[in-house]
Chain A
């Protein structure tokens, strides 16, 4: 088994497993965020549950952070190994003749997403950690805000057109990353060709609907404050 994990295929499988986990997380994140458009009260309730439930906070959250870090670190490790495997650069290379832009530029779309994750952490995660773990305030309340604070904070963040623009751009990169990454993860896991078409269609739907949904949420709160 240790030989498998050290092999090139083992690394690809590990990359795919972390991708599955992150794609599942993304779906869950979207399902909660869309509640902010449908029903702010329910969004507040669910956000408070997610933010204060010990299992979510102390079991699932560390796993998520590990998953994110692992996917990025492994992505960079594989990219460096692949660069090392290249010989002298071609004087002329027509990559577009045989592969998609998305598949050839996963590292760049991944870096754009990484930059977004940093921004997103500064916007939401770090303030949340500060409130709960440093200030010790687990009430979910904020002075001057009726009920839970989460919906109010969300609206405040999306006031800035620059931030909304950055989020929209990041979600475009997320879509590009997923358009290759979704089916690539299944291919790495050895998915059979009989299910290829179905997987490709599900992958396309997921890769477009989820980022588009996040863009809609950001724009909705920017325009409806």
Chain B
């Protein structure tokens, strides 16, 4: 395939940035999107140009690092995948593909397609954990009865990889799907109950402090989430916060 790429180039956090057109040729439809980006970068290096900076790590849909907004959608036009799992067969020969970084005031661009998503880490640090003394007599997890339904739902919430596609997709740059998932994975389990009040209050407070927007329930985040995190998690977070506020 021969393709035209329109890519956001930004030298550093202070640069204004702009879209730049590139041509790539002989792209195999079996390549992943990131492999196509590798081809482009080799081409740029060969011609003495600066390669396009983009985040990537595991390249198997687990790490959540690859954060590209492709043809107007987070992680591109396919569903339930990260950018590294997007295959070039989703495009046609001669296509023009627009590639941008995830956009949100709380996700400032560091360089080209690389954005700073440490806001998510600060939200996690505010309460996305349980305090367990692991030094010595750690209790066997299976000794606490948990219903299959609750365990499955908690596991589903815990599959969130914190990629930020929800924020990038949301017209309000809301992080509520991410925070909802992180609150839910503990709210559904007995181990999470002890710190439930502080957790939801602190995580929501940190989310607001980071400057993410408000959820208006468009549902776009759920559609674009590579792990299929459900909107139900946002509803659960809302319930948790309401409950916590009454205590």
Contact = CB atoms under 8 A, between A and B. Distances in A.
B77 interface: yes
A104 B218 contact: yes
B238 interface: yes
Contacts of B103: 86-90
B204 A8 contact: yes
Contact of A87 (B73, B104, B235, B238): B104
B98 A92 contact: yes
Contacts of B139: none
Interface string A86-100: 111111111101111
Given A94-B72, A192-B232, A99 B218 contact: yes
A100 B218 contact: yes
A188 interface: yes
- Secondary structure class of chain B's binding surface, majority of residues: mixed
A120 interface: no
A88 B17 contact: yes
B217 A180 contact: yes
B8 A91 contact: yes
A86 B105 contact: yes
A12 B239 CA distance: 12
A190 B235 contact: yes
Contacts of B109: 87-88
A106 interface: yes
B98 A91 contact: yes
Interface residues of B, number: 55
Interface stretch (B26-34, B87-95, B207-215): B207-215
Contacts of A193: 230, 232, 235
B17 A7 contact: no
Interface residues of A, number: 42
A144 interface: no
Contacts of B106: 85
Interface string A64-97: 0000000000000010011011111111111101
A159 interface: no
Given A98-B169, A103-B219, A187-B234, A86 B104 contact: yes
A10 B241 CA distance: 8
A161 to B, nearest CB: 36
A8 B238 CA distance: 10
A85 B172 contact: yes
Given A90-B100, A93-B72, A98-B223, A81 B214 contact: yes
A103 B172 CA distance: 12
B125 interface: no
A8 to B, nearest CB: 5
B174 A85 contact: yes
Contacts of B224: 98
A183 interface: yes
A175 B216 CA distance: 17
Given A9-B238, A12-B215, A92-B100, A82 B171 contact: yes
13 contacts: A8-B204, A9-B176, A9-B238, A82-B173, A86-B171, A86-B172, A87-B105, A91-B8, A94-B71, A103-B218, A104-B171, A190-B235, A190-B239
Given A82-B171, A184-B216, 9 more contacts: A7-B204, A8-B174, A85-B211, A87-B107, A95-B171, A98-B169, A98-B219, A99-B220, A190-B238
